Structure 1
């Protein structure tokens, strides 16, 4: 993987879709005070959507799932003739296979923005679907470095139509690779956050190509508009860091200091689902939701910066790295990280993404590109097909005002919307897991 900053090595694969706890912990470590508890029939315990997004589901409320399942780390070469950069030593894309010993349906699962096939939420889905008797193939996000390097045709990620076509090609290769060892009765597909939206585009593509003939598709907390959602995440950073995004590096350093302080003072530190509850007991202060929002925005900024930098290096785009400059394995990337961290997704869209795709498709405008990368571009298909359902939260932080109604209007009875949970915060909650399993098995 291409790294942007020496201090960020363990944080680079954070996803805006799943917002891995490890990074969010850094800010929450010195913030937490109290949590609001629900008082209705849906007993997920965290009312605040920002807190829910970061904390996830406390252990006492999670579904009962097997601790150990037969995971196999697999790899496949998508572009055998692709010339690789000197600093990149492998051509293989990595994915996870969870195999039943008997004939069963197979679920393809797509990770959220910037996330790998091994992310915590991917492992949650693996356990749930394996428990329900299904094979599972977990795929990294097309915005994850390993995917950009090995499986992206353009190596300029973010165009959901193109990224979904890349996913489809990858899935075809995996289907062929595992066919002798995995007895598949039928195919399903799911994904969370951006992966949820991509699942719908992959399903639509399969209507034409008919390689998988997916029987069921489940979208988990997808964005309506990729542009709207990433703009929201950008604003969380820019509007909540003192001094704005130009002070990102200082803010990041402060977070690292907070992390170090808690790491040193708490005994038996374990990054599990209840770690933030320990932080809550450790520090009795009022929650600073502005800083929580800034941390979520920072998590996304690190993920998007890694994506942008990786793409720039691979395509010789000259956006961050000077054109024709060859990175060496010993090259420090600190200065490039400082540049990348100041680039919002809006900047990337206007300065790199739109110019690239408008050259490929003459007549493309910024507004048409935003539309083409949203679920609204396939709303007729989503409305008419019976095979696709959506799970979402009323208070999802990546949705613009009114966007939750798109799912109600488009999916009707196929939309299952919970009153709270933030962005994917309630995925591990027992009711949610039960619904996901029942959707595929009934």
Structure 2
């Protein structure tokens, strides 16, 4: 009877009943903030052996003089003492390999017996400057070819240090979207021949998700978009109060400061929006400067020049503004007849729908209350990954990635090819 029940569950996307899923945060905004900075699985090591590496990824070009510190691509390896499978983890939008989220995955997978290589997002400044071919990320195939090239270079750097049995791949948020493309690329190149691939809380359409996250900030602060600059200044002042010396401004930094505050839904939405906006500002600045677009940077920057005038011109620029003001004009100039709709289509999982429907090595997990998906996006995932997905009732955006039932199901998939843990 138990086997029959399991087979029935696998016929369609697996869904947990709300009453059986004891995730501690019922609000998707609270879940996103809590889970993005909290390990919710017992017994995970606080620290595992890990080493960072710096490599020159071909074709390497010398960075702009103002980015002298970005002289090589960085990644990390956590290795087992003997023979083991290797899993690559690709970060979410703009996130670096050393972030708390990425290190949480490293701890989980190392404890489960995997070698682990952590790869930053193509929207992360280090990746963008040192490893991006076009230096205007946003087209999924382009970015994923960059990721694949980086993964090969990283593996070749450490190949003599690890004994690998099989290769696995996962990523979360935009990284969860990109690993599907990386898997498709590998179907042709067969460099890794991935055994299994898991997409965690993927975006379906990058432009849809960007607009949702942009609006979380713009629609939830007094004065709207016109007051974003002042709101950012207030957040920066709050960060300065909590940290001595230099600190990386990231979603984890922001969530750690505010996660215990009693915030309204609007305030929590704005907090998630501001964490994403800092990434957007970085992308707007770097792509404009590196490609000499003149949107915000209207002259050749000097090495130690003050950023204040540029900061004022950027004025809290959103991800949607990056797509509309930098990415689209860039690709329109490269591809004759290229329309804005073409760009949106090439940033959408529908582009590889037939592969996603047919590949039994790929599975997907997301949440019913996922913040970065439209209802149409969620239905696309539900239908495309029929029999190879779990849709949890709670968790917001990536808030339940480290919740014990999710972790057990994730590890079971990589170990056995079965998504749900029956225990």
Shorter-chain TM band: 0.7 to 0.9
Q: Among residues 290, 298, 307, which one is paired with 2:274 in the alignment?
A: 298
Q: Aligned Cα RMSD in Å?
A: 2.3
1:421-440 matches, cutoff 5 A: 421-440=395-414
CA contact (8 A) 2:213 2:272 kept: yes
* 2:162 alignment partner in structure 1: 182
**CA distance in 2: counterparts of 1:173 and 1:258, whole angstroms:** 40
Q: What's the offset of the Cα at 1:367?
A: 1.1
1:318-333 equivalent positions in 2, closer than 5 A: 318-322=294-298, 325-333=299-307
Structure-1 residue corresponding to 2:338: 364
Larger mean Cα displacement after TM superposition, 93-102 or 334-343: 334-343
Q: Is the 8 A contact 2:254 2:275 kept in 1?
A: no
2:172 alignment partner in structure 1: 192
Conservation of the 8 A alpha-carbon contact between 2:174 and 2:203 = yes
Q: Is the 8 A contact 1:187 1:215 kept in 2?
A: yes
In the TM superposition, what is the alpha-carbon distance from 1:347 to its structure 2 partner? 2.4
User: Per the alignment, in what secondary structure is the counterpart of residue 186 of structure 1?
Assistant: strand
Q: For residue 34 of structure 2, what is the aligned residue in structure 1? A: 55
Contact map agreement 1:63 1:433 (CA 8 A) in 2:
no
SS at match of 2:31: helix
1:348 aligns with 2:339: no
Instruction: Give the alignment partner of residue 64 of structure 2, picking from 85, 110, 114.
Output: 85
Q: 1:358 to 1:98 in 2, by over 3 A?
A: same
Matches within 5 A, 1:262-341: 279-280=260-261, 287-322=263-298, 325-341=299-315
1:244 is displaced (CA, Å) by: 1.4
1:242 Cα deviation after fit: 1.2
The 5 Å alignment of 1:31-430 reads 40-56=19-35, 61-79=40-58, 81-89=60-68, 90-258=70-238, 279-280=260-261, 287-322=263-298, 325-430=299-404
Residue-by-residue CA offset, 1:333-381 (whole Å, 9 max, x unaligned): 1232232244222222222211211222223221122111111111110
1:66: Cα distance to partner?
1.0
Q: Distance in 1 between matches of 2:135 and 2:241?
A: 39
Stretch deviating more after TM superposition (145-154 or 366-375): 366-375
Superposed displacement of residue 91, structure 1: 2.7
Return the offset for 1:314. 1.4
1:81/1:413 CA distance change after superposition, 3 Å: closer
- Structure 2: distance between partners of 1:59 and 1:206: 33
Indicate the residue corresponding to 1:21 in structure 2: none
Q: String of CA shifts for 1:102-135, please: whole Å, max 9, x gaps.
A: 1111111100001000111111111111111111
Deviation at 1:188, TM superposition (A): 0.8
Tell me the alpha carbon deviations over residues 312-341 of structure 1, each in whole angstroms, 9 at most, x when there is no partner: 11121212101xx23233211123223224
Q: Post-superposition shift, 1:157?
A: 1.4
CA-CA distance at 1:271 after TM superposition = 7.5
Tell me the CA shift for residue 39 of structure 1. 6.7
**Retained in 1: the 8 A contact 2:75–2:154?**
no
Q: Deviation at 1:396?
A: 0.7
The TM-score normalised by the length of structure 2 is: 0.87
In 2, distance between residues paired with 1:366 and 1:273? 34
Unaligned runs of 5+ residues in structure 1 are: 1-37, 265-269
What's the CA shift string for 1:382-413, capped at 9, x where partnerless?
00000000010110111112321111100011
Distance 1:58 1:78 in 2: 31
CA distance in 1, matches of 2:253, 2:130: 30
Kindly state the Cα deviation for residue 44 of structure 1 after the two structures are TM-superposed: 0.6
CA distance in 2, matches of 1:148, 1:223: 20
Aligned length: 392
The range that moved more, 159-168 or 334-343, is 334-343
* Alpha-carbon distance change, 80 to 236 in structure 1, aligned in 2, over 3 angstroms: same
